[in-house]
Structure 1
């Protein structure tokens, strides 16, 4: 099998163990039925008699090579999978409309595609649409256009199988909201700045009740009293400590924001 695969695909380097594992996975996962597997064998190894060896096999034409390269692109059997001819025509017309609308749709307005269940019907819909994409993919000139084609096809699959999609713009609203972790850190910074302001005011001689109460709360649980002689130095140390915490929290926000930005960019790509 490995020698035969090397003759069919001389530019792909696959080990014997890897090829055996892939073959075993295809057979065990029941991706293709017995009729489809037999059809693949006949089209991949065209021969004049049943005893022809792989080395004597005739060269593959373009259509047969396509079947070997991407087995998922084989059209489904309409009798077994429930895709009839009029449904295929309807899917083709919907795909044409989707190919015209998707390129003009901004990325931020595209709904997030959910995961679909691996049922026989859903697999049949995907296999029926795959051959229809060949014409559009061949005419694609860049990666952005290819992405629009694949997104439009995936969106059509969700519509055909009845998968509920999020409302347009909901993803943008969620992404523009302030994350919970950032709001917590910003609240800490706001409280620390308020405390710094009142401690500075108390150090300057402001003895209002609210300012004194805040100073006592700042040193609650410690042996420091506001009436001791070196309280001015203690206040200065406390204020410097709060300023260092604010700087550390600000760096944490910038670090987390950069990480979130990279994650979103990778997800969009």
Structure 2
């Protein structure tokens, strides 16, 4: 009941458990209990909820650590550590430039003076020197050049990472690459059409019959395809499903339901229930 009432995106993340005899014994102990629940299952979604609840029970029995914050369904947007370090350097340099500029403008508050002394620590520069204003200007220019260099480094690293990801997507998933290269859609800023105009627009497209003038090439293609034997319909048997589950890696990243292949292999009654759902026998 807990699993069925929880949305898929709010389910806890199931951890990887050790392949020990004790853990396997706990999984086998739940198999007889699952028979009653699976026999009363009405569809595949309910079967998935039952299996996830059984996996959650196993994790709690063996004392595995569960995440209560839910699972993220999108891609990770974490900023790389190298970029965080460079951005922190830029922020500190900009803050120091502001303090030095304030001191050059005549602000002699103790906090500002202390920061200026720390900026020239380890050098022979003293605040009582007659050319202190020139030293401040040189220090500010040096910090600005460093900020510009750090900014160029971020852009260079970002462009390199983008090229690497695009090359990887081109080899593995070209559709995803081309979709990422598309420009964002710009929504209209005009007035929203009323219901009557919307109905009339779509009715003119879908309700009125249209006579298309087929070109002569369609007859040529039809004559060439007349002698082609149609492909036999693909039939997925329960054995195909069981074989696919058996060959799948145990801890491969799960789908939206959060159920790894390990649990599909470990819960034996799942195989018989899959056969019933696949063949349509209740």
- The interval holding the TM-score normalised by the smaller chain is 0.3 to 0.5
Q: Which has the higher contact order (CA 8 A, sep 6+)?
A: 2
TM-score (norm 2): 0.36
